Amino acid sequence: MGSRKVGFVTIGQSPRTDIIEDLKPLLGALEIIERGALDGLSPNELEAVAPLPDETPYVSRLFDGSQILLSPEKILPLLQKAVDSVVGSGAEMVVVLCTGSFPTLQCPTPLLLPGRLLRGFVKGVLPLEGTLGVVVPLYKQTATAMESWNSITPHVHTASLSPYLDFAAGMEKCQTLVGCDLIVMDCLGYTTRHKEMLKRLLNIPVVLARTVMARAVQELI
């Protein structure tokens, strides 16, 4: 029997070597199909998906490794095309490489949304009425993160630190999370190295979105 085909779809540009290479020990023998919502777009087309002033932006990575901010509304039809593309290439399961919410995405195969997986996992392991520290890439995302995670605990503290810029240089921002029971890194861009750096700094258990996602894929294949 051949390897299972799994589609990995990013809201940025593929391939996401920064994610897939980091997770290969967990993913095992898969045939990986990658697509990006921004694949093949011109500079002008990339500018057209920038967030509006009143939007809480998504953040992702371009092929050259640089960071890009995106409008959640404008990215949806492009993300749907990327999902359709991996399904058309034979993907038996599709994974969206973002912890954002995409309620309108349509997919005829199992669709894994890491944000839902992450919230379910944290809800299961956080002590009752525990204090949760949430790390997101952008300061402008902290209010939305607070509102989202308040559904699990009323005690939420946030810090913003981009995985696509100089993570080590900005780690002092996370000192505000000292005293939390658990830290969650709420973006697929954070790496296993980032997790270990944060654990050493704070001496608090840290949950990483990409490894929660990878273990869910492993369970289902």
Asked whether residue 1 carries a pLDDT value surpassing 80, the answer given is: no
Confidence band (pLDDT; 50, 70, 90) for 165?
Answer: very high
Model pLDDT, residue 136: 98
What number is the average pLDDT over the span 135-148? 97
> Is residue 47 classed exposed, middle or buried when 0-12, 13-18 and 19+ CB atoms within 10 A define those classes?
exposed
Model pLDDT, residue 221: 86
Q: Share the mean pLDDT of the chain.
A: 95
Give the CA diameter of the chain: 51
Which CA distances in Å does 122 have to 95, 181, 186? 19, 11, 11
What number is the average pLDDT over the span 35-63? 96
Is residue 97 within 8 A of residue 22, CB to CB? The reply is no
Q: How far apart are CA 135 and CA 190, in angstroms?
A: 10
Predicted model pTM: 0.94
Q: What is the dihedral of CA 100, 106, 214, 118, to 10 degrees?
A: 40
Q: What is the pLDDT of residues 176-189, one digit of tens each?
A: 999 999 999 999 99
Helix (H) or strand (E) holding 18: helix 17-27
Please tell me which residue, 95 or 29, carries the higher pLDDT value.
95
Of the candidates 162, 195, 161, the one whose C-alpha atom is nearest the C-alpha of residue 22 is 195
3-state secondary structure of 90: coil
Ordered domains of the chain (ranges, CATH)? 4-113+212-220 (3.40.50.1860), 116-208 (3.40.50.1860)
Counting Cα atoms < 13 Å in the Cβ hemisphere of 103 gives: 0
Q: What is the pLDDT of residues 117-138, one digit of tens each?
A: 999 999 999 999 899 999 999 9
CA 107 remoteness from chain centre: 19
Q: How far apart are CA 57 and CA 68, in angstroms?
A: 10
Task: Encode 27-38: b = buried (16+ Cβ within 10 Å), e = exposed.
Answer: beebebbbbbbb
Model pLDDT, residue 67: 96
* Two structure tokens written together for 16: 């996401």
Strand partners, 35: 9
Percentage of residues in the chain having pLDDT higher than 70: 99
Q: What is the pLDDT of residues 59-108, one digit of tens each?
A: 999 999 999 999 999 999 999 999 999 999 999 999 999 999 999 999 99
Confidence band (pLDDT; 50, 70, 90) for 109?
Answer: very high
Q: How far apart are CA 221 and CA 217, in angstroms?
A: 6
Confidence band (pLDDT; 50, 70, 90) for 3?
Answer: confident
Of the candidates 161, 144, 163, the one whose C-alpha atom is nearest the C-alpha of residue 55 is 144
Asked whether residue 156 carries a pLDDT value surpassing 90, the answer given is: yes
Is residue 100 within 8 A of residue 70, CB to CB? The reply is no
